[in-house]
Amino acid sequence: MARSQPDERNQVLVNAVVQARTGSTRLPGKVLRELGGRPVLDRVVHAALAAPGIDEVLVATSTAAGDDAVAERATRLGVPVVRGSSDDVLARFVQAVDAHPCDAVVRLTADCPLLDPALVGLVAGTWRTAPGHDYVATTLVRTLPRGLDVELARTDALRTLAATATGYDRVHVTSGLYGDPERFRCLGLVVAPAADDLRVTLDTADDLHALEGLVDALGDRTDWRSVVSVLRARPDLVARNAHVRQKTLAEG
């Protein structure tokens, strides 16, 4: 399948969209919980703003009344807000690129409070050097701790997917891209040694307990190598949420 390249005569734009909502079933309101003295959403937005190669940062939340607080917080952080369906997150992303046009969009989730700006920039920069790819991510082959996830999708590929996607592909936004490699050209970034046995995402109270200890130990450090180094040295922190089972795609 032939793919056109972005028009090199014009600036190639890469936006970051942070998806956030308060309606988590396992830890309601998790994206606005305090972590190290500031809300989790603040941490994710600030990481995106600090990432090289990102032209604009947006927060995409739902129109549900419970997410008014998310929209208000994003506005206070000075980033645009797009609001759409609670369940059709893919449509929410299309709304975001309609309102703020770009050639590619980096998908970030607000339950990943330790995002490394350098990783976000690496994914964006990799796509800029190889823009024929429809999907570039650190998760195609997972070698980083869960919770340092960065995914990028070409805007035209995302629109193509949105025209046909059904079921959980509309909830998980990018699963229809990496799930169909014959249709979409995908590129994965990996690190060595692998650290995918570690968990720094926020989905349960035990995750929050683990993250609180990790943030205290990290201090001002924000790079993924420091995250891995601290956790390798502190098995007590790893044990706080090592038992948490990640939901499957079908479970949402």
As a whole number, mean pLDDT of residues 58-86 equals 96
Least confident of 1-15, 17-31, 33-47: 1-15
Give the residue carrying structure tokens 């956790």.
Answer: 231
CATH T-level topology, domain 14-191: Spore Coat Polysaccharide Biosynthesis Protein SpsA; Chain A (3.90.550)
Reading the block at residue 175, the tokens are 């699963």
**What percentage of residues in the chain have a pLDDT greater than 70?**
94
pLDDT for the residue numbered 9:
40
More confident residue, 54 or 7: 54
Task: Give, in order, the Cα–Cα distances in Å from 126 to each of 11, 22, 107, 153.
Answer: 16, 32, 15, 12
Q: Quick one: average pLDDT of 206-232?
A: 96
> Domain residue spans in the chain?
14-191
Which residues are 187's β-sheet partners? 136
